[in-house]
Amino acid sequence: MEETNFTLINIGYLDLLIGFGLIIVSIGLSRWQNLTLERDLITGAVRTCLQLIAIGYLLKYIFTLDQWFLILITLLVMIIVAAFTVARRQNKQTWELPYLVGFSLTAGSGISVFLATQIILQIKPWYEPHYLIPLAGMVIGNSMNGATLAVERVDSEIKNKRMEIEAYLALGATSQQAAHSCIKAAMRAAMIPTINSMMVVGLVSLPGMMTGQILSGTSPIIAVKYQIIIMYIIAFSVALSSFILSKLRFRRYFTPDHQLIEEAL
C-alpha cells in the first residue's frame, strides 16, 4: 500500500474536553432560541463520548485476540441494537417488529459485507477484524436508517390508502397487489438518503472512512477506491434490507385470505 510521510496527530483527553466546549455553545444557542434541545444535546454528547471510548477499548481487545467468534458476537450485537433501535423509533410498535428488522438487516447487511470482503477485497482470514468490523458497522448503520424509514412509510401508507386498498381487494386483488404502491413508497423513502449521499459524495461531503484513511496517511486515490466500494455496498444493503422488511411488515395488516385487518390499522 502506498504511504506518505504524513504523521497523524494524537488527540488527548484535554483536546476532547476542548471539543466539548462546542456542545456547550450549541446548548447556549438552543437555550437562547428556546429550542428546548439542551437535555438532548448534553445526553447525546455524553453518550457519544462514553460509547465511542468504550467501543475503542473493546475493539482494541478484539483486534489483539483476533478470534472469529468474538468478531461474530460483535456483529450480532450490532444487529440486535440496530433492530431494537428501529423498533423503538416507530409510532406503531409491535412485538414482532424487532425480529423482522433483525432478519432483514442480517440478510441485507450480511450479503453485502460478504460480497465486499470475500468477493471484492478477498480478505484473509475471512474474519480479519480490521476490515470486517468497520465495514459491517457502516453497512448496518446505513441499513438501520433505511429500515426506520421503510417501516414508518409502510405503516403510514397503508393507513392513508385504506379505502384504495379495500377497493383493490374487493375487485379480487391479492393483498400484495393491493399494497404494492405502499411497499414501493416505503422502498423509495428508505433509498432516498443513500441516493442523495451518492449524488454529492466528493463534491459536498468527504465520507468518514475516506477521511480517516487520508488522515492516517493512506494515498487519497486508494482511500477513494475504498469509499466507492463502500458506497456501492451500502446502497445494495439498504435496497435489499428495505425490500425484505417492507415485504414482511405489510403482511401484519392482512389475513391469509387477503382481507384487511381493521385492528392492525
Give residue 1's pLDDT: 45
- Averaged pLDDT of the chain: 90
Give residue 79's pLDDT: 96
pLDDT over threshold 80, residue 28: yes
Total residue length of the chain: 265
Q: Of 220, 195, 198, which is closest to residue 209 (Cα–Cα)?
A: 220
Q: Report the percent of the chain where pLDDT is more than 70.
A: 97
CB-count exposure of residue 194 (10 Å: 0-12, 13-18, 19+): buried
Q: Point out which residues pair with 205 in neighbouring strands.
A: 201
Give residue 264's pLDDT: 65
For 194, the grid coordinates are 443513500
CB-count exposure of residue 140 (10 Å: 0-12, 13-18, 19+): buried
Gap between the Cα atoms of 147 and 89, Å rounded: 11
What does the pLDDT average to over 187-203? 91
Gap between the Cα atoms of 135 and 150, Å rounded: 22
129 close to 59: Cβ distance less than 8 angstroms: yes
Over residues 82-125, the pLDDT tens digits come to 999 999 988 878 889 999 999 999 999 999 999 999 999 999 99
Gap between the Cα atoms of 90 and 150, Å rounded: 10
31 close to 38: Cβ distance less than 8 angstroms: yes
- What SS3 class is residue 125? coil
261 vs 35, more confident: 35
State the pTM of this model: 0.86
